[in-house]
Amino acid sequence: MSEQPAEFSMPTPGGFQDPERSGLSADDLFAGITEHLFFTLGKLAPSATRHDLYMALSYAVRDRLMTRYLAGKEALNEHPAKSVAYLSAEFLIGPQLGNNLLMLGIEKEAAEALHRFNGTTLDDVREVEEEPGLGNGGLGRLAACYMESLASLEVPAVGYGIRYEFGIFDQLIRDGWQVEITDKWLKGGWPWELTHPDQAVFVGFGGRTEGYTDEHGRYRSRWIPAEHAIGIPHDIPVLGYKVNTCDRLRLWRATATESFDFYAFNIGDYYGAVEEKVGSETLSKVLYPNDGTDEGRRLRLKQQHFFVSCSLQDMLRNLEQRKIPVTEFPQHWAVQLNDTHPAIAVAELMRLLIDDKNLDWDLAWDITSRSLAYTNHTLLPEALEKWGLPLFSSLLPRHLELIFEINRRFLQQVRLKHPGDDAILRKLSIIDEEGQKAVRMAHLATVGSHHVNGVAKLHSDLVKSSLMPEFAQLWPEKFTNVTNGVTPRRWMGLCNPQLRGLLDEVIGQNWLHNLDELKQLERFQDDSGFLERWDQTKLESKRQLASYIHRHTSVLVDPASLFDVQVKRIHEYKRQHLNALQVIAQYLRIKNGQGDGLAPRTVIFGGKAAPGYYMAKLIIRFINGIAETVNSDPDMDGRLRVVFLPDYNVKLGERVYPASDLSEQISTAGKEASGTGNMKFAMNGALTVGTLDGANVEIREQVGAENFFLFGKTTPEIEALRKSGYRPWELLEELPELQDVLHLVEQGHFSNGDTELFRPLVDNLRGQDPFFVFADFEAYLKAQDEVSSAWANRQHWNRMSLLNSARTGYFSSDRSVREYCDGIWKASAVPVKVTCQSNP
Ligand code: NBG
């Protein structure tokens, strides 16, 4: 990536001592907090609550981002360069305060300033911060990591998405079951956003199209939408690590065009008078949990079109304001489609260029297909989006016309390559003609993009070989891989201060800029004194997690035991039930006096199940049943504990990763596209027990096979088993230990004698076992035995742990984002200079 410098001087309004509010000392921050308590919150310092202090400090920190936030825009005006537009229906950004302090390098100063308010600590205020749960899991968190790395690498970028009023639900556990309650992240006020109503955008829905002849005698089509919504941008600054680049997340909130229908009101219909307003505003009300049910499908498609249209119009307006011709769109915007949720962009950009900007088809198509690129995040058929034609045409009639034309031209290209092959036309068509006709969004995205990438080597290979082989054959150069990465700033620097301190001391501070520098740790691999310190930092994090566990679940766990952790969304393919069955096997061994070689373990689970996903919810109930029985059995004291941590989210992840010894990455091979939790664990020194799936494959390559507990069938072996007719009930006959485990479950041992509760789970495994739990069970137990013996030699374990951290530089999202910039976006750094106080 080449670099172009740009300079920005803040116009200085007179009269203030610190006109830019840029001072970074403890005194400056103290003044900022006091000022915001008084002027923004209307509070006097002595009566300020923790939440007030959190708000006031956040505003003071936000002030310190403003010069940089504005400077980036100015820099682009002076030196036009390509910006990345990352379109994503989800951004799981996590708490902002601590992260911004880290990025500015002012954690100590902020702590000192806060301390002057009755000894308040940073932890006190960070604890009351609500996190915006604007995503379901890995996909949304990845988008947040990428935005951070883009800013840290000084690349101009905007993350476009939806400002859901209600994000992912909060999870409670009642009687062992998951209970969902609405997430009210905005209830206490959220200080990190800037609303720009002046930049609002109109979006149409429904209605009809009509043909007409324009003044040049050309036949054209015009869309007459039945309704409109207005999108109002809410911007969240995304500051890079110790640089001046401050990118933006631009999230759209929907509001009605006419908030009040006076005619309806005058005839006495009060409800009718606000009906349209209520209708338009439900658009950005709630994030969809990914449970693949039909409910709300119409609203979901509306959400997708809403945010995509707002974002593309915003990009076009931006060019217009800078007097850049629309034909230069691809030189100025690299638009990334994060999964198929924004895939409607292919048709919407065509519509805007043809209908609004009056370009002809070929030019519009050239611009569109040179600007868009698509990332695929899953092979699971139920997650590949399709929209039935009746729904699509009633909501987006003009888009459907355009899609038919895109498809017609595309299929003509296929015909030339495969003359007379109707089967291939049916397979590749954007329109699924089988059964109820539907638009295949992955096909639309692929046809309209210049690159299509998977998110780990194995996954990208499977996209080419099994998901879209005919497409890959047609356009081999289009398909590529970018293995996921995570930001080391949040996932090591911020969440693991103990480890950060140790690393800063022994390898210097540059590793947070360049994670490959962790390699230097290798020189300590045989230094027993250092390994002891390594162990102590881990122990300290485990103590803190143990205290959290006690406060939130009342379970007492021993920080000296092996913390064996599986945190992620609950899904059958991720196989939390395989882990649970293995825990029962260990329990039985201990009960039967055969547990001598077993490491004392605390097995920790966490994750949300989609509200409509019955089997996933039953798995949560199952884990809680096991926990209750195991934790109340005196025979298990000092040997086994099981914990289900409620409400797993970014904030909780920050507590969990540093405190883990063993990372469970046990999905059925071929199912997990990449995983990113697996990387966070390894960076923080956890060893992995895992299958050859997703990015596990590359983690094992990097850290070394000898520092990874591998088990299980490979993707081709699973495929072969499926093809040969997998019969789990027969397999079970050869697995006596698993039989004992299942008998105990069926006898109601983990359900207070209730023999029915877990029957659907056991019957499903015995009868179908769609994710090959039985097939991998024995190998998994064996791998867990290896874990136990490795734990017995602590010096050796610590060495493996150290080597895991040392060799995970590759999984920094900086590396992934560089690959996107060089290979897909062709975007470069634009370093920004500011004349206000710079970073320490
Ligand atoms: C998820 C995959 C994960 C992957 C993330 C980020 C979806 C559709 N996919 O394996 O399941 O790590 O995407 O790429 O949420």
Tell me the pLDDT tens digit for each residue of 24-72: 999 999 999 999 999 999 999 999 999 999 999 999 999 999 989 998 8
Quick check: 491 and 680 in contact, CB under 8 A?
yes
- Evaluate if residue 199 carries a pLDDT over 90: yes
Mean pLDDT for the stretch of residues 496-519: 98
Which residue is it, tokens 């047609």? Answer: 474
How far is the centre of ligand 1, averaged over its atoms, from the C-alpha of 385 (Å)? 14
Alpha-carbon torsion (780, 785, 791, 795), positive or negative:
negative
Which of 287, 378, 575, 820 to mutate for ligand 1's pocket (most ligand atoms within 8 Å of CB)? Answer: 378
* pTM across the whole model: 0.96
- Evaluate if residue 655 carries a pLDDT over 50: yes
What confidence tier does 75 reach under pLDDT thresholds 50, 70, 90? confident
User: What's the pLDDT score for residue 262?
Assistant: 60
How far is the centre of ligand 1, averaged over its atoms, from the C-alpha of 637 (Å)? 38
Measure the CA–CA gap between 239 and 651, rounded to whole angstroms.
19
Mean pLDDT for the stretch of residues 105-123: 97
How far is the centre of ligand 1, averaged over its atoms, from the C-alpha of 567 (Å)? 14
For residue 339, give the ligand 1 atom closest to its CA.
8
User: What's the pLDDT score for residue 14?
Assistant: 44
Which of 134, 136, 139 to mutate for ligand 1's pocket (most ligand atoms within 8 Å of CB)? Answer: 139
Mean pLDDT for the stretch of residues 3-24: 62
- Evaluate if residue 359 carries a pLDDT over 70: yes
How far is the centre of ligand 1, averaged over its atoms, from the C-alpha of 153 (Å)? 24
What confidence tier does 282 reach under pLDDT thresholds 50, 70, 90? confident
What confidence tier does 20 reach under pLDDT thresholds 50, 70, 90? confident
Is the CB–ligand 1 distance for residue 674 below 6 Å?
Answer: yes
User: What's the pLDDT score for residue 726?
Assistant: 98
If DSSP codes are grouped into helix, strand and coil, which group holds residue 648?
A: coil
Which residue is it, tokens 């034609």? Answer: 389
Is the CB–ligand 1 distance for residue 673 below 6 Å?
Answer: yes
Is the CB–ligand 1 distance for residue 289 below 6 Å?
Answer: no
Please give the single-letter amino acid code of residue 261. D
Residue nearest to atom 6 of ligand 1 (CA): 139
Mean pLDDT for the stretch of residues 457-471: 97
For residue 484, give the ligand 1 atom closest to its CA.
14
End-to-end CA distance of the chain: 26
DSSP notation for 41-58: S---GGG--HHHHHHHHH
Measure the CA–CA gap between 392 and 405, rounded to whole angstroms.
15
Q: Is 391 exposed, middle or buried (0-12, 13-18, 19+ CB in 10 A)?
A: middle
Mean pLDDT for the stretch of residues 569-596: 98
The residue among 256 and 266 whose pLDDT is bigger is: 256
What confidence tier does 17 reach under pLDDT thresholds 50, 70, 90? low
Least confident segment among 266-270, 661-665, 686-690, 767-771: 266-270
- Evaluate if residue 3 carries a pLDDT over 60: no
How far is the centre of ligand 1, averaged over its atoms, from the C-alpha of 141 (Å)? 9
Is the CB–ligand 1 distance for residue 92 below 6 Å?
Answer: no
How far is the centre of ligand 1, averaged over its atoms, from the C-alpha of 139 (Å)? 5
User: What's the pLDDT score for residue 840?
Assistant: 40
What confidence tier does 325 reach under pLDDT thresholds 50, 70, 90? very high
For residue 676, give the ligand 1 atom closest to its CA.
12
What confidence tier does 627 reach under pLDDT thresholds 50, 70, 90? very high
Least confident segment among 169-183, 212-226, 367-381, 555-569: 212-226
Catalytic residues: 377, 568-569, 574, 676, 680
Is the CB–ligand 1 distance for residue 676 below 6 Å?
Answer: yes
**Residues above pLDDT 90, as percent of the chain:** 89
Percentage helix, strand, coil for the chain under 3-state DSSP, each rounded to 5: 50, 15, 30
Is the CB–ligand 1 distance for residue 377 below 6 Å?
Answer: yes
Degrees (nearest 5) of the Cα angle 203, 206, 208? Answer: 115
User: What's the pLDDT score for residue 839?
Assistant: 43
How far is the centre of ligand 1, averaged over its atoms, from the C-alpha of 705 (Å)? 24
User: What's the pLDDT score for residue 22?
Assistant: 86
CB proximity list for 529: less than 8 A, separation 6 or greater: none
**In angstroms, how far is CA 219 from the centroid of its own chain?**
44
User: What's the pLDDT score for residue 74?
Assistant: 83
User: What's the pLDDT score for residue 280?
Assistant: 72
User: What's the pLDDT score for residue 13?
Assistant: 44
The residue among 510 and 71 whose pLDDT is bigger is: 510
**In angstroms, how far is CA 509 from the centroid of its own chain?**
27
For residue 141, give the ligand 1 atom closest to its CA.
6
Measure the CA–CA gap between 693 and 716, rounded to whole angstroms.
11
Mean pLDDT for the stretch of residues 670-674: 98
User: What's the pLDDT score for residue 450?
Assistant: 98
Mean pLDDT for the stretch of residues 402-428: 97
Mean pLDDT for the stretch of residues 10-29: 72
Is the CB–ligand 1 distance for residue 339 below 6 Å?
Answer: yes
User: What's the pLDDT score for residue 611?
Assistant: 93
What confidence tier does 15 reach under pLDDT thresholds 50, 70, 90? very low
Mean pLDDT for the stretch of residues 438-443: 98
Is the CB–ligand 1 distance for residue 167 below 6 Å?
Answer: no
Measure the CA–CA gap between 518 and 276, rounded to whole angstroms.
56
User: What's the pLDDT score for residue 72?
Assistant: 85
Measure the CA–CA gap between 556 and 550, rounded to whole angstroms.
6
If DSSP codes are grouped into helix, strand and coil, which group holds residue 432?
A: strand
- pLDDT, one tens digit per residue, over 783-798 is 999 999 999 999 999 9
Which of 455, 459, 467 to mutate for ligand 1's pocket (most ligand atoms within 8 Å of CB)? Answer: 455
Mean pLDDT for the stretch of residues 597-613: 97
With b for 16 or more beta-carbon neighbours within 10 A and e for fewer, the 324-337 pattern comes to eebeebbebbbbbb
Average pLDDT, the chain: 94
How far is the centre of ligand 1, averaged over its atoms, from the C-alpha of 671 (Å)? 10
